[in-house]
Amino acid sequence: MAQGFPKTADVVIIGGGVMGTSTAYHLARKGAQKVVLIEREPFFGVMSTGQCAGGIRHQFSSEINIRLSIESIRMLEAFPEEMGQDIDLRFIGYLFLLTDEEDVAAFRANVALQHSLGVKTQWLDPSQIARRVPLLNLEAVRAGTFYQREGLCDPASLVQGYVTNARKLGARLFTNTEAVGIRSSGGHISAVETNQGLIQTPVVVNACGAWAPQIGRMVGVDIPIEPIRRQIVVTTPIPEVPPDFPFVIFFRESLYFHPEGEGILTGKSNPDETSGYKLSVDPDWEMVHMDEAMVRMPILQKAGLLSHWAGLYEVTPDAHPILGRIPTLEGFYLMAGFSGHGLMHGPMVGRLMAEEILDGRTHTLNIDPFRYDRFLAGELHPEYNVV
């Protein structure tokens, strides 16, 4: 066993992205004494958290997701002062562009729901959109929605803030530490086996994102999450991009753009992507993506490639996460399956998980729509606003 490695814990969190580190911090903040987090990579937050586009938004189609965004974004605003860590929070606004009548109708209902919850999304006609984003080709765009209090934050800084402050509160967080097995007895969690040694514990939190099903198999729990590759390209500087350029999403095309440094970050979801732990860039799909990106934003033809990478969405059948205790195994908790919007909800979800574990149930928000039980009952209500 590695020297100084804990032999016991009250809670072991597996996974060191935004979900796991937020949970470690909030557990310690609520007074949990022996919190241990293990991450198999050399650094925290380098997998799906570190590979995401960094977006934060309120524009969802379900009340629970909108409420999660409201609370999480408030927490992000307070983060620099409360945690002593700047996260480069920028409210540049999200602009959804709609080219399909079915989406127009759905988004009208979504905007009404958002308004009822205090999110004052604007409905824009094509002429208003053209004035706001003159660099874009708006052919076939029928309408759009915009909300200014949305935008970007830096994933690495967010994770580092949670890691630093969790440790200050007594939590112990380890990298290069892989869970290789989980023990249970009599229907209860009893220990986590790692490459550094055995940790006796009554509680395990599975915060492994796309890899959550692998942890579930260690205890015979089937977790309906598929790892789906998504790719991103960042361009060299484009001086013509104005400082107020928003996070733009052509919704039906699953094509998006946002400012990144002096260039543009762009991505496009491949509707034919197959499930698998594929972390290399698919050059054929990148060509498809960039051809369409240059049609929609012609100025990209003048830019070069600065960087590109692939990461994994953790996709559930209804594009909603699975959150809370697993009913078939006492002491086993899950927080995964956020289907591309985990970063923005990580702050609040960590707090909710701490409530679930220490108080027996969440009370800040009701997470019943996200519980594992919905798959057992077959009651699914998909999230519409997924890119």
Q: How many residues belong to the chain?
A: 387
- 299, exposed or middle or buried, with CB in 10 Å at 0-12, 13-18, 19+? middle
- Do 207 and 353 lie in one domain? The reply is yes
Closest by alpha carbon to 323, among 369, 365, 364, 360?
369
- Which range marks the domain in which residue 89 is found? 1-93+148-224+317-387
Residue 271 sits in a domain of what CATH number? Answer: 3.30.9.10
Q: Are 64 and 365 in contact (CB under 8 A)?
A: yes
Q: What angle do CA 308, 312, 313 make, to 5 degrees?
A: 125
Please give the single-letter amino acid code of residue 82.
Answer: E
State which amino acid sits at residue 95: L
CA–CA distance, 113 with 119 (Å, rounded to integer): 9
**Which pLDDT score, from 0 to 100, does residue 1 have?**
44
**161 plus 68 within the same structural domain:** yes
Q: Which residue from 162, 167, 153 is spatially nearest to 45, judged by alpha carbons?
A: 162
Q: Given the structure tokens 């992507």, which residue do they identify?
A: 273
Backbone angles phi, psi at 77, to 5 degrees: -65, -35
CATH of the domain at 18: 3.50.50.60
Question: Does residue 310 sit in the same domain as residue 322?
Answer: no
3-state class (DSSP) for residue 11: strand
Task: Going residue by residue through the chain, which has 387 residues, state the pLDDT in tens, using 9 for 90 and above.
Answer: 455 899 999 999 999 999 999 999 999 999 999 999 999 999 999 999 999 999 999 999 999 999 999 999 999 999 999 999 999 999 999 999 999 999 999 999 999 999 999 999 999 999 999 999 999 999 999 999 999 999 999 999 999 999 999 999 999 999 999 999 999 999 999 999 999 999 999 999 999 999 999 999 999 999 999 999 999 999 999 999 999 999 999 999 999 999 999 999 999 999 999 999 999 999 999 999 999 999 999 999 999 999 999 999 999 999 999 999 999 999 999 999 999 999 999 999 999 999 999 999 999 999 999 999 999 888 899 999 999
Domains held by the chain: number? 2
Half-sphere exposure of 349 (CA within 13 A, CB side): 30
User: Helix (H, G, I), strand (E, B), or coil: what is residue 94?
Assistant: strand
Cβ neighbours of 295 (radius 10 Å)? 14
Domain final residue, candidates 315, 337, 360? 315
| Residues in contact with 112: Cβ distance below 8 Å, sequence separation at least 6, in sequence order | none
pLDDT at 58: 98
- Show Cβ contacts of residue 387 under 8 Å, excluding neighbours closer than 6 positions: 249, 251, 254, 256, 269, 340
Same domain, residue pair 143 and 153? no
127 and 101, same structural domain?
A: yes
| Nearest of 43, 19, 18 to residue 206 by alpha carbon | 19
Any idea which residue has 């004494």 for tokens? 33
One domain, residues 84 and 173: yes
Residue 126: CB partners within 8 Å, gap ≥ 6? 138, 141, 142, 143, 144
Q: Are residues 311 and 328 in the same domain?
A: no
> 210 and 169: one domain?
yes
Using alpha carbons, list the distances in angstroms from residue 42 to 3, 4, 18, 323: 18, 18, 15, 26
Radius of gyration of the chain (CA): 21
SS3 category, 249: strand
Please check whether residues 181 and 152 belong to one and the same domain.
Answer: yes
Which of these three, 293, 315, 337, is where a domain ends?
315
Query: CB of 27 within 8 A of CB of 35?
Result: yes
Residues 102 and 220 in one domain: no
- Looking at 300, 315, 330, the residue that finishes a domain is 315
Distance CA 80, CA 97 (A): 32
The reply to whether 341 and 385 lie within a common domain is yes
Residues 102 and 84 in one domain: no
Distance CA 263, CA 94 (A): 17
List strands edge to edge, sheet with 188-194.
Answer: 179-185, 188-194, 197-200
